[in-house]
């Protein structure tokens, strides 16, 4: 791996932004602790910051020159924190304001991908329970109801029968969230990490449970990950190309992860893009990076380098 930065001193004082105020706070704390420890091992002057709005707005006055963003979900992954850092002149890892905002709105990202001809399942925005029932008639059962702007599968339901529609809508709506329905695509759950302009090896996910929900992602030790994923060379290439296209179309940069469903005909369908993926012991980007020859510490260093011009 070719390093752009030879000395940790070149990064200056780095704030590892973690925690935050979204529903993914605990996952972010786990990720941030791992990243902070890795950077310290590499000699970076890094400080773990359990982020609040006040702390973020005062990073420059605290002497920080750079931020490694490990804030998942709304607040940290939607462009809000990125904008606050730009106002202070603080460099940061990952995607900028616009790309972060677009990717956080799953509907906006899917509209963009579809306009450019990328494969993503049919969808519609839901305002009411009546809309959800109409979506059931359109998509048939099973279909998916989920929040438009959450991560870690928070509020996601696979709806199998009419009696489940109302509860699934209420779960996705939560405290005033926008909600969407999506056609269910049967197939293997796949993910491709992006580092710089490179697609890392794909991972096949075999979740402990019906789908790759919060429990399967962060709690269960029974979820299985296949990397190499076992797909053909042609499918691996197609997954990588689609991941890079999806990444580029929203204007993402630095690093991220693109999730797919691979159907029975080996056609990949885009699910969503993550611009601040998890960095926990169960997380997928470190797994793919390891398959590509990166240690966890090297991965964190490479991500930190994405904050450079």
- Respond yes or no: is residue 218 known to be catalytic: yes
- Is 23 an annotated catalytic residue? no
Among residues 77, 78, 213, 272, which one is catalytic?
272
Annotated catalytic, 24? Answer: yes
b/e string for 166-198 if b means 16 or more Cβ within 10 A? eebbebbbeeebbbbbbbbbebbbbbbbbbeee
Question: What gap in Å lies between CA 99 and CA 78, rounded to an integer?
Answer: 8
23, 28, 95, 152: the catalytic one is 152
Quick check: is 274 catalytic? yes
152 counts as catalytic: yes
The token pair that represents 230 in the structure block: 């076992």
Active-site entry in 92, 214, 218, 294: 218
Q: What's the CA gap between 285 and 290, in Å, rounded?
A: 9
**How big is the chain, counted in residues?**
309
d(CA 273, CA 109): 8
Active site residue 294: no
Of 257, 294, 306, 307, the catalytic one is 257
Which entry of 20, 278, 283, 307 is annotated as an active-site residue? 278
Cβ neighbors of 47 (< 8 A, separation 6 or more) are 13, 14, 15, 16, 36, 64
The three-state secondary structure class of 178 is coil
So which residues are the catalytic ones?
Answer: 24, 152, 218, 257, 259, 272, 274, 278
């Amino acid at each position: 791996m070719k390093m752009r930065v030879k000395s940790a001193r070149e990064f200056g004082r780095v704030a590892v932004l973690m925690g935050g105020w979204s529903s993914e706070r605990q996952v972010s704390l786990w990720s941030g602790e791992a990243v902070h420890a890795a950077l310290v091992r590499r000699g970076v002057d890094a400080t773990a910051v359990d982020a609040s709005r006040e702390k973020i707005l005062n990073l420059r006055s605290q002497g920080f020159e750079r931020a490694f963003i490990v804030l998942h979900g709304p607040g940290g992954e939607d462009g809000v924190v990125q904008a606050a850092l730009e106002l202070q002149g603080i460099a940061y890892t990952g995607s900028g304001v616009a790309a972060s905002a677009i990717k956080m709105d799953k509907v906006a990202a899917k509209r963009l991908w579809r306009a450019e001809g990328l494969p993503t399942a049919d969808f519609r925005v839901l305002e009411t329970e009546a809309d959800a029932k109409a979506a059931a008639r359109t998509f048939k059962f099973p279909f998916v109801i989920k929040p438009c702007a959450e991560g870690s599968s928070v509020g996601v339901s696979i709806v199998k029968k009419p009696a489940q529609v109302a509860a699934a809508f209420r779960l996705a709506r939560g405290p005033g969230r926008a909600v969407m329905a999506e056609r269910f695509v049967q197939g293997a759950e796949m993910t491709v990490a992006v580092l710089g302009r490179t697609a890392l090896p794909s991972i096949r996910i075999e979740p402990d449970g019906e789908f790759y929900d919060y429990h399967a992602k962060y709690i269960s030790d029974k979820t299985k990950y296949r990397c190499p994923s076992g797909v053909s060379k042609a499918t691996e290439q197609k997954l990588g190309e689609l991941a890079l296209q999806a990444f580029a179309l929203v204007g993402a940069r630095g690093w991220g992860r693109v999730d797919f469903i691979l159907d029975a005909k080996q056609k990949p369908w885009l699910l969503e893009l993550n611009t601040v993926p998890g960095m926990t012991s169960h997380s997928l980007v470190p797994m793919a990076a390891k398959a590509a020859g990166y240690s966890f510490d090297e991965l964190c260093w490479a991500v930190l380098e994405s904050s450079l011009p």
